[in-house]
Amino acid sequence: MTSSIKKISWFAVSPVVTSAISFISLPILTYRLDAEDYGAFGLGIVFASLIAGVGSLGVMVYLGGQQLSDEQRGDGVKTAVFGAISGGLVVTVSVAIIWWAVRNWFPDLISVQVEMLTLIAIIGLCGAFNAVASDTMVHFGSARAYSVCTIAQALTFALTAYFVAFHWRADATALYAGAAAGAIAQSVLGMVSLRRHLHGRVSREAAIALWSVAKPTVAINYLDHLKTLMERWIISLTTNMHVLGLFFHSQQYRSIINLVTKVPVRGLWQTALSEAAEPRPKFRDMRAAWVGIDGLIFLAGIMFVLVGGELIGLLTHGKFSDAAPYAAVWMAITLAQNTGRPYVFVLIARGKAATFSNLSLKSNLVVFFGVPMALFVFGVWGVFVAIGAGALVTWILSRREALKVAEVEFADVRPAFLAAAVIASQLMISHFQPDLSARATLLFVALVGFLVGIVRNDAIRRFLSERITNRKPLKDRQVSKKGV
């Protein structure tokens, strides 16, 4: 078994276990908590994201896009950790001031207690450090450590939220307490894992190099967090906290599918960069990973379209069944955002990380200004319209920049067609409203089609032949035999 397969296997442990923990804890927590509680948590947790945003210093991009010595890598990691913690403290004070200033605009936040504000600060500060630690572990291939950290976070969150909800307060406080405890557990284990990479010093040179990459990255993350705050605020004002809770709940399924699909990306990160650095990138190995990723997201989207209401209802005692259409469209949005991955890796592998960050910033500006307008025109669905427009802008700009530095032979437009198929399926099901037996039959057909497509895909068959069996393709073996 190759090192790539081992890394993928370890990275696979994390989403499988954390998803299992989420599915087990969901019916338990929703027995005590309602959509309104999740809506309040979804609105308040954005402020923690504003604090954690300083951890998005582009460590993985910085380390992967340059030829650095071990000393420079150590300096970069330690400088990033120092910047995340110190920056997080500054932003914590700023967020506290913002919270106090806008509290009257958010009626549901006026009654928030001091302990909840403290929990939000803890979540944000630990999140800033965890972002740096996770990027560092992924870059250096520390798959086992990464899995342990994320599993500890999910397990601690579930146990703490359960204890608070059943033995203290059955409201959003349980979710805040769980998130804070999980963030602390992940930070402690992350620090243990990072010790061997903190052999450098906090240097001015590393700070300048990191900041050159981080400026657009941090701006992108803060635009995203402010966009999230704005969209949830508008949803809470134009509808109610129940609808916001459904919308926030649907995003959790997107987070779960992202955890699963990022496994091969993390495990094959160095492979992707190596293939992207070729004169005419064909992404022979990454094609197999991307086919599986896109197929899994598409299957999840079809599942939410056909039987999502019933499945979510079983998990949440019927309280969140109406979140299924949102979850289905989130799958389509995720597919749309995956379009153009080859161009992104080409830019990073050729030292154009700053270029990619700048074009991502432009895309996020489109989403940031598009969300409020789309929300008032299309309601909750306007969020998806604006994010879809941002994905299109990212694809156009990244393709244009990548083709300036390389002749990319693999465009990878499959995700766009699959996204359109999910949305079309949702519209047809909403219009015709077939019964459960018909929808279950359609889901079975989709599952069979997915499995047949995976088995018959040439890229996946070649990948498995070369990587798992450690044997040459048949044609190469025949040539070698003739040569002998």
pLDDT band at 482 (very low <50, low <70, confident <90, very high): very low
pLDDT band at 349 (very low <50, low <70, confident <90, very high): confident
Task: Encode burial over 80-100: b for 16+ CB neighbours within 10 A, e otherwise.
Answer: bbbbbbebbbebbeebeeebe
Residue 276 contacts residue 345 (beta carbons within 8 Å)? yes
pLDDT in the model for residue 258: 83
pLDDT in the model for residue 162: 94
Taking 90 as the threshold, does the pLDDT of residue 484 lie above it? no
pLDDT in the model for residue 474: 36
The CA distances from residue 416 to 52, 421, 462, in Å, are 31, 9, 24
Residues 275-318: tens digit of each pLDDT = 888 888 878 777 777 888 888 899 999 999 999 999 999 989 99
More confident: 381 or 65: 381
Classify 434 as helix, strand or coil: coil
pLDDT band at 411 (very low <50, low <70, confident <90, very high): low
Taking 90 as the threshold, does the pLDDT of residue 326 lie above it? yes
pLDDT in the model for residue 293: 86
Average pLDDT of the chain?
81
Taking 60 as the threshold, does the pLDDT of residue 36 lie above it? yes
pLDDT in the model for residue 477: 36
**Distance between CA atoms of 460 and 290, rounded to whole angstroms?**
10
Taking 60 as the threshold, does the pLDDT of residue 188 lie above it? yes
pLDDT in the model for residue 20: 86
Residues 379-409: tens digit of each pLDDT = 899 999 999 998 888 888 888 888 888 887 7
More confident: 341 or 95: 341
**Distance between CA atoms of 148 and 407, rounded to whole angstroms?**
40
Residues 421-439: tens digit of each pLDDT = 999 999 999 999 999 999 9
Residue that has been written with the tokens 């990878």 in this structure: 412
Structure tokens at 234: 């508008």
Structure tokens at 435: 């019964």
Task: Give the contacts of 306 (CB within 8 A, at least 6 positions apart).
Answer: 425, 429, 439, 440, 442, 443, 446
Residues 335-348: tens digit of each pLDDT = 998 887 888 888 88
pLDDT in the model for residue 329: 95
Q: Give me the count of residues in the chain.
A: 484
Residues 196-217: tens digit of each pLDDT = 777 777 777 777 777 776 677 7
Could you give the percent of the chain with pLDDT greater than 90?
24
Over range 117-136, report the average pLDDT: 87
Taking 70 as the threshold, does the pLDDT of residue 58 lie above it? no
Over range 127-156, report the average pLDDT: 85
Segment among 358-372, 392-406, 455-469 with least mean pLDDT = 455-469
pLDDT band at 66 (very low <50, low <70, confident <90, very high): low
Over range 37-51, report the average pLDDT: 86
